[in-house]
Amino acid sequence: MRHVVFPDPGSRPGAGRRCPFPCLVAPTFGVRTAASVSIRLGKCFSLGPFHPPAASEPRVPDGLPDTFGSDSALSMFLNTLTPKFYVALTGTSSLISGLILIFEWWYFRKYGTSFIEQVSVSHLRPLLGGVDNSSPSNSNPSNSDADSSRQSVSECKVWRNPLNLFRGAEYNRYTWVTGREPLTYYDMNLSAQDHQTFFTCDSDHLRPADAIMQKAWRERNPQARISAAHEALDIEDCATAYILLAEEEATTIVEAEKLFKQALKAGEGCYRRSQQTQHHGTQHETQHRRDTNVLVYIKRRLAMCSRKLGRTREAVKMMRDLMKEFPLLSMFNIHENLLESLLELQAYADVQAVLAKYDDISLPKSATICYTAALLKARAVSDKFSPEAASRRGLSPAEMNAVEAIHRAVEFNPHVPKYLLEMKSLILPPEHILKRGDSEAIAYAFFHLQHWKRVEGALNLLHCTWEGTFRMIPYPLEKGHLFYPYPVCTETADRELLPTVFHEVSVYPKKELPFFILFTAGLCSFTAMLALLTHQFPELMGVFAKAFLSTLFAPLNFIMEKVENILPSSLWHQLTRI
């Protein structure tokens, strides 16, 4: 038997290439019929006997793959697939989509966004020619000024919590009892920055004790800070050293108060000395400013100690004196401490007087101001308020004022009502808060929940009316009703301030599930169902799979047949060679 050599078009006469299939080779006498080729094809590929095409059927060009010419190759491929293949295919698809779903859900719960959407927007959109909204454009100057002012107003600024607890006597005791850390690293890092800003200055190197404390405030290890404070006290009476020990080493409020009283004695001496020399130069002025901050901080913490130990009237007097002595130091927000102490005394007229001074349109708002104003107006009508009676006769003017005050407070911070109504569990407030955020809501409700409970019917009125606020606010939150639009950055900052390990951060507005989470959930469920059906009914699902794939490839086969009829066979031959 010899190999048949097929001529190569375009080559010199007599040249050729050998057939790669010896089973197609004809006998030595050179006669090859259609029947013999069919028999040898059947031996090589296990196909049926060869049937010549009818005159009406289009002729398949030489060299064109049979997959595009007819359904025989596709049918042969589908016949070789067993039910185990379909079970493995659908099971693997279900497993992969399930893993993607779990990851997407975890990422959404932790960061509040979809990982696939974030990657698409950050990386794929620029490659596809997407326009970045943050890129500068030739817009109207007035519009750009308005946008910049709006961004500056809605910027998420973190504030020192005016009612922050003592780290040693309260936060550490919580850790000892529960084994949980109530403060995040970000929160404690902000406190360290505050301490360096308020309690240090450039002239600290001139006094050895202050130089030691300047290094102590930068220490991350609490024991190293406490040791440095004791070292500074061995040199001289240092007010900031007493402050550090009162905040971090004292395990009770009584011990902290004793240390603050010693700090007050040392701080007043430094304040009087620097007050006499503050006009002698920039260095002396900076030192006097530092001594002023130290003195105000000590007096405010002493007033808070009195409030915690039950001497509320003494605490109110100390806060009033402090606000009169240093009226320009509004950064400490001492009026919020005063409001809480006055509510404890049930001195509602004094509370109204403080609100009249600080609840001004030109002054920054807070949850304490807005919700205290709502509490006073609710107090006038809450004891006789009934939802059924109000629905029948309508709201009276006093009730309308109370409801509007509640709506105003809820618009400023929509997270507070769930804590006041005990629909969400409270945790220890952080040392820093974000206004209009979940951290501020926790700090307010932690100290003021008892005042709302003391007013009969106030929580009932809040429960009946607070959700009506959201019908008045435009959605999406492009603009507010009484305040600026709710900032979109509160969730990110609150996740840094609050311990998300055991606290679920409140999010407003409530985010809908991203599309890719719903898509992967549907894909996982669908493939899992297919895997189960294929395992239970292999033959029936095999028939469905074959019918589906045949239907799927039918348009492609139709297009290829049309192309074969239009293009000459020689062109197809050249394309297949390429």
- 339 domain-assigned: no
447 and 558 together in one domain: no
What type of residue is 548? F
Sign of CA dihedral 203, 209, 212, 218: negative
Please tell me whether residues 19 and 72 are part of one structural domain: no
- Our measurement of the distance from residue 552's CA atom to the centroid of its chain's CA atoms, rounded to an integer in Å, reads 42
384 and 473 in a single domain? The answer is yes
300 & 368 share domain: no
Whether 474 and 411 map to the same domain: the answer is yes
Query: Coil, strand or helix: which one is 520?
Result: helix
* Digit-coded pLDDT (tens) for 160-214: 999 999 999 999 999 999 989 999 999 999 999 999 988 888 888 888 888 999 8
Domain total in the chain: 4
Q: What is the three-state SS of 72-128? A: HHHHHHHHHCCHHHHHHHHHHHHHHHHHHHHHHHHHHHHHCCCHHHHHHHHHHHHHC
* Structure confidence at residue 84 (pLDDT): 73
| Structure confidence at residue 294 (pLDDT) | 92
Q: Do 437 and 502 belong together in one domain?
A: yes
Q: Do the domain assignments include residue 147?
A: no
Contact 114, 122 (CB under 8 A): no
In a domain? residue 156: no
Task: Tell me the two tokens of residue 47.
Answer: 């196909």
C-alpha 130: how far from its chain's center? 24
Q: What is the DSSP string of 305-360?
A: HHHHTT-HHHHHHHHHHHHHH-TT-GGG-HHHHHHHHHHHTT-HHHHHHHHHHH--
In a domain, 40, yes or no: yes
Domain check: are 523 and 508 in the same one? no
Neighbours of 535 (CB within 10 A): 15
> Which of 112, 54, 69 shows the shortest CA–CA distance to 489?
112
CA distances for 451 relative to 329, 425, 426, 461, angstroms: 27, 17, 16, 14
Three-state DSSP at 271 gives helix
- Quote the domain boundaries for residue 307: 166-332
Residues 327 and 389 reside in one and the same domain: no
Q: Which one of 332, 358, 377 terminates a domain?
A: 332
Residues 277 and 191 in one domain: yes
Q: Distance between CA 283 and CA 40 in Å, rounded?
A: 105
Residue 48 domain-assigned? yes
Asked if the structure places residue 278 within a domain, the reply is yes
Closest of 242, 262, 329 to residue 289, by C-alpha: 329
Is residue 293 a contact partner of residue 199, using CB atoms and an 8 Å limit?
Answer: yes
Please enumerate in sequence order all residues whose Cβ is within 8 A of that of 555, keeping only pairs 6 or more positions apart, or say none. Answer: none
Residue-level pLDDT at 328 = 74
Q: Quick one: 178 and 325 in the same domain?
A: yes
Pair 194, 246 in one domain: yes
DSSP 466: G
Residue 151 lies in a domain: no
| Same domain as 525, residue 507 | no
Q: What is the pLDDT along the chain (578 residues), one digit of tens a residue?
A: 444 444 444 444 444 444 444 444 444 444 444 444 444 444 444 444 444 444 444 444 444 444 444 456 656 666 676 667 767 777 787 788 778 778 777 777 666 667 777 666 666 556 655 444 433 334 444 444 444 444 433 457 889 999 999 999 999 999 999 989 999 999 999 999 999 988 888 888 888 888 999 899 998 899 999 999 999 999 988 999 999 999 999 999 999 999 999 999 999 988 888 888 877 878 888 888 888 999 999 999 999 999 999 999 999 999 999 999 888 776 678 999 999 999 999 999 999 999 988 877 667 788 999 999 999 999 988 888 877 777 778 788 888 899 889 988 988 888 999 999 999 999 999 999 998 889 999 999 999 999 999 999 899 889 888 876 666 665 544 455 556 666 777 888 888 999 988 888 887 756 555 666 677 777 777 777 877 777 777 778 777 777 877 887 788 888 877 777 776 666 666 666 66
Identify whether 149 is part of a domain: no
Last residue of a domain, one of 513, 533, 554: 513
